[in-house]
A and B are shown apart, each in its own frame.
Chain A
Amino acid sequence: MTLLSALARRAEIPVFAVIGTRGLGLAESLRRRPGLRLVDSPRHARVLLVAGAVDGAQKQALERLHAQLPAPRGTVWWQAEPLFARGEVVTGDDPMPAIRAAASADDPDQRPDVPPHPWQGIGPHGHGGRGMMGGNPYGRPMAMTADDIRDGLALDAYSARFGPFLPMLPPGLALDLTLQGDVIVSADVASAPFEQGPQGDAPDLCAARMLRLMGIGPIAARARGALLALPQGSGMRRRLAAWLRGEQVSETPDPLPAALPGLEWAEAVLWLASFPPSRLRAACMERHAA
């Protein structure tokens, strides 16, 4: 045990970054910092880093995320107003000392374990669905047969909210999706991406985000083979090529509820990442206003 702890003391701190308003550049600057490692899932993290202010409307989502980090966990608010009284606040440019401190902190639960949703008790088997499917046992929506948009094989669709802090989606974007397998059948924007400012549209930053989803680094992308991996006809190749050349992209996406259905999860995620954050936000806000 002592050997393990001695080794563990000098390990990289796994950090899950929640990106708030103007936090994209901040989080990206940490990616190559020695001593910490940005992880994709809150389950892998020791420290929750909130980079940039998070809208008060997302307080509950953030609390749930906090609860997903395995205990003991620590929280750091970096250039962000704390939404709940846990962890430390950093206003300067270097969150490293605070992150190190948080790595030995032990936040109490922000959302203490309440009993799960009650058993719904409807239907022949008491799970609330029809027959043996669907329903909402223990508050978890179950899949239910629904029409298919691709080849007419109407299988079970799964509806859930994805976001607003999922690392593969633009920060702040929350989508209500219905999935059949990994094909999106319907999509609705629950909340628009956060404002990222002009530095959020920087070509290298946007390209790095997109390349990360494709599993390669910017050096491998220079060989241009990466562009061939993208599907044709959706403009993704064109936009990534422009970013790799160091040019700004100023295309605005179609409204998401119209554009996303029919795409597979991986395509949809790449498609969303292929637009500059400001344009994506504009497209989502327009719809909210209308």
Chain B
Amino acid sequence: MTDALFLALSALAIWSGWRVFRVDSMVRASFQLMVSFIAVGLIAVLLAAPYIGIATIFMMAVEMMVMALFMVMFMMNPAGLNPMVMVHQHRFSVAAGSLAFAGLSAAVLLSDLPVRPVPEGAEVVRDLGHELLGPSMLIFETAGVTLLATMIGAVVLSAHSGRYGASDAGSRPPGLTPGGAPAGRKPEGGGGHHHHHHGGH
């Protein structure tokens, strides 16, 4: 029963992961990725990690929702009426992906993996809680502070008001001496309204 479920979920995770790069609408792509994450989360639940598994589903549902929203924002082509071909160095990528898979699988098959399963009846969620707020508190809190820094950084980066003036005007730092030439690199010429989405190469 567990084995059948595992096989089905793995197949779902891999298939939907593959479909991410094969569908013709980015919203569909991000929800395919979400399906892949949900399958992995359920596998984690099968592997006796109920907190991690369900938290993965929870987090990824939110993350992929935001991703899909960005898709609609940047490319309002929700239903894929317009074609979508946006790949480059295709052969190289296929080779790299296959190589990574083959290498990792070989490593897995050839190495002698230790076998020490989770003991029956272990309170894994309670253990995790004690670990998070006990011995590994520093790591956990560091992750928290990193997330806070990320939030602030993300807001600063994406806001209209850049560090040195409006960001879409191409903000340039002030000179090192009063009235001097701007420090740092000159922004790219044209600043362009040359259009994006060039189609397939």
State which of A51-59, A72-80, A130-138, A257-265 sits at the interface with chain B: A130-138
What residues of chain A have their CB less than 8 Å away from a CB belonging to chain B? 124-125, 127, 129-133, 135, 137-138, 140, 142-143, 145, 151-156, 158, 181
Note all chain B residues with C-beta closer than 8 A to A154: 168
Q: Which residue of B is nearest A126, CB measured?
A: B83
Question: Please, how many residues of chain B have a CB less than 8 angstroms from a CB on the other chain?
Answer: 20
Interface contact A156-B195, CB-CB below 8 Å: no
Binding site secondary structure of chain A: loop
Is A138 within 8 A of B160, CB to CB? no
B92 CB within 8 Å of chain A = no
Check A131 against B198 for contact (C-beta < 8 Å).
yes
CB of A117 to closest CB in B, whole Å? 12
Query: Is the C-beta of B82 less than 8 angstroms from some C-beta in chain A?
Result: yes
Interface 0/1 of B71-110, CB less than 8 Å to A: 0011111000111111000000000000000000000000
Contact assessment for B73 and A181 in the assembled complex, using a CB-CB cutoff below 8 Å: yes
Name, among A131, A132, A133, A135, the residue most crowded by chain B CB atoms within 10 Å (CB to CB): A132
Complex interface: chain B residues within 8 A of A129 (CB): 82
Q: Are B74 and A156 in contact (CB under 8 A)?
A: yes
B196 at the interface (CB under 8 A from A): yes
Besides A142-B76, A156-B73, 14 more A-B contacts (Cβ < 8 Å) are: A129-B82, A131-B196, A131-B197, A132-B75, A133-B82, A135-B82, A142-B77, A142-B81, A142-B82, A143-B76, A151-B160, A152-B167, A155-B74, A181-B73
Residue of B with least CB distance to A134: B82
**Distance (Å) between the CB of B158 and the closest chain A CB?**
8
B199 contacts A by Cβ under 8 Å: yes
Cβ A132 vs Cβ B77 within 8 A: yes
Interface presence of B55 (CB below 8 A)? no
Within the complex, the shortest CB–CB distance from A122 to chain B, in Å, comes to 12
Query: Complex: how many Å from CA A124 to CA B198?
Result: 9
- Return the chain B residue nearest A144 by Cβ: B76
User: Does B5 have its Cβ within 8 Å of any Cβ on chain A?
Assistant: no
What are 11 of the A-B contact pairs (CB < 8 Å)?
A: A125-B82, A125-B199, A127-B83, A131-B195, A132-B83, A133-B197, A140-B81, A151-B160, A152-B166, A152-B168, A154-B168
Residues facing A in B39-78 (CB within 8 A) are 73-77
Q: In the complex the two chains form, what is the Cα distance from A264 to B130 in whole Å?
A: 48
Provide the residues of chain A in CB contact with B75, threshold 8 Å: 132-133, 156
For B166, what are the chain A residues with a Cβ–Cβ distance below 8 Å? 152
Question: Which chain A residues border B74 with CB–CB below 8 Å?
Answer: 155-156
Digitize B6-41: 1 where CB-to-A-CB distance is under 8 Å, 0 elsewhere.
Answer: 000000000000000000000000000000000000
